[in-house]
Amino acid sequence: METVSTSKAYGGTQGVYRHASTATGTDMTFAVYVPPHDEGAQLPVLWFLSGLTCTHANVMDKGEYRRACAELGVILVAPDTSPRGDDVPDDDAYDFGKGAGFYVDATEEPWATNFQMRSYVEDELPALIAAQFPMADMARQGIFGHSMGGHGALTMALRNPDRFKSVSAFAPIVAPLQCPWGEKALGGYLGPDRAAWRAYDACALIADGARVAGILVDQGDADGFLAEQLKPELLAEACKAVGIALILRMQPGYDHSYNFISTFMGDHVAWHAERLK
C-alpha cells in the first residue's frame, strides 16, 4: 500500500492511499479517516460508497464527516466507484463504465476483466484495511452510501448481515430492476438474464429472503432523480412486507447534491456509531 497523502483533521488523520488491486487488475485509490484514539484502542469501521461520476475525493472534500467521526470514534473508509486507467474499458457515459461500477462483479465482456467492484469492496479492500490499520475493529463494520453508492450499501448489507452491523443511505437507488439507471448498468455488466440481477437489487434481495435489523434512509423531496430513478416507496413497501425496521426521512427542499448529504452526515455517523458500540 502506498500513502498518497495524509493531513491532520479534528485530531485524527485523513489519509489517501493507493494499491494494486487483484480484483480489478488496476491500481485503486481510497481514503481513510482515522479519528484520535488511545494507543491500542480498537475502533469500528464505517464504509461510505459514493455515487455516479464520483471518486473517493467527493465525500472526502464535501461530505463533512470528520467532526462526527472524531467525536464518536469511528474510522471512515471511502473506496473509489470503479476501476480506472487507460486500459480499462469505458462507455463515455456518466452512468456506465468508469465512475459507474455499480458495485457489481461484471460477467459480460469487455467489463468482466476489470469491473469487479463487489469483490473489491466486499473482500479485497477489507482485508487490506485489516492488515494496514491495526486499530480497525473488523468485527464492527457498518456501511452507507449515496445514490449508486446507496444501492451498493443496501445490497452489500443485505448479502452480508453478519459482517455489516448497520446500514444507511442517502437517496439510494433501491430497485435497479425497475429504473433506467439500473436496467442499463445491470444489463450491460451482467447480461440479459434478469434473474442474475436480483443479487444487486435491494428490494429483490428482501423479497428473496435477505434481512437486516434496520435501515436509515434520507431522501430529499426536491431531488430531480426521485420519481424516475430512486423510488424510495418501493423500499418502504418491501421492508413493511417482511418487518424490516426502515426509517425513511423525506427531507423537504433538499436535492441530490452533497449540500444535502453533508447536512445529514452527522445523523448517519451517529446512527452507525450507536449500533457499532
Among residues 146, 151, 256, 268, which one is catalytic? 256
Buried b (16+ CB within 10 A) or exposed e, 67-96: ebbbbbbbbbbbbbbbbbeeebebeeeebb
Q: Which of 95, 201, 218, 223 is catalytic?
A: 223
221 is catalytic: no
SS3 labels along 57-107: HHHHHHCCCHHHHHHHCCEEEECCCCCCCCCCCCCCECCEECCECCCCECC
Rounded to whole angstroms, the Cα distance separating 65 from 12 reads 12
SS3 244: coil
User: Is 256 annotated in the active site?
Assistant: yes
Catalytic residue (one of 21, 147, 166, 168) = 147
Residue 168: active-site member: no
Task: Cite the active site residues.
Answer: 147, 223, 256
